[in-house]
Amino acid sequence: MRILGVDPGSKNTGYGCVDIIGNQLRLVSHGTIKIYNNNNADLMEKRLLTLYQDLSNIIMNFKPETLVVEKIFFAKNALSALKLGQARGVVLLTGAAYGLNIIECSSTEVKAKITGYGRATKAMVSKVIQILFGKQNFLTFDASYSLDLAMSHAYQIMSQNKKCFKNHPLEKLEILSKKRKKLSLAESIGLGRK
C-alpha cells in the first residue's frame, strides 16, 4: 500500500510518500512544492493553481492509494488561517479528483503516534525518521512533517494487520502497549521522552 502525506501551506506544501510492503515501511520520496515566488506573490489563485498542478503530477507519478492531510487547527491570524484553508481545500480536491482515500488527522495525533508525545518538537519527530529511514535532507519542515503524516497512518494500518507486524519493530510496540496504553513508535525503538 502506498500512502502520500501532504502538509499544505500558502507558500510551501510538503509531501512525503511511503510504502507498506509486508512488514516493512519503505520511504518512496519526499519534497516541497514551492507555490510562492516573486511572479505570484500577490495572486493567491495562481499559487493555488501551482499547488493543484504540482500535486497532480506527484499523484500521477507515485500513484498513492491514500492521501493523509492534517485536520484544521485553531489559528490566531485570520488571514493566515484563510490562506491555509484555501491550500488545504486544493489538496483535498486534488486527492478526491484522483480517487484517493482521504484521511485527516490532527497534529497531536500524528506526533503522539510517532514520538509518544502530542506536543513533540520537530527535532524529536525528525529523529525517529532518521532512525527508520537513515539520514534525510529535508528542504523544509513541511517535507519532514508530511512524511510524519504518511508514517503515522502507515503505523496505524500495520498495527491492525498482525501479519505485517510479525518480526517488525512495531511488534515490540504492540506488546509493550498492552502494559501502557500510550506507547509510541519512538519509545518502542528506544527514543522515549525523558
Active site (catalytic) residues? 7, 70, 142
**Rounded to whole angstroms, how far apart are CA atoms 121 and 167?**
29
Cβ contacts of 42 within 8 Å, gap of 6 or more: none
Sheet with 101-105, strands from edge to edge, namely 24-34, 12-21, 2-7, 66-70, 101-105
Cβ contacts of 167 within 8 Å, gap of 6 or more: 23
Q: Is 190 left (phi over 0), alpha (psi -120 to 50) or beta?
A: left
The three grid cell numbers given for residue 121, joined into one nine-digit string = 518538537
Cβ contacts of 137 within 8 Å, gap of 6 or more: none
The three grid cell numbers given for residue 77, joined into one nine-digit string = 491570524
Type and span of the H or E element at 114 = helix 107-115
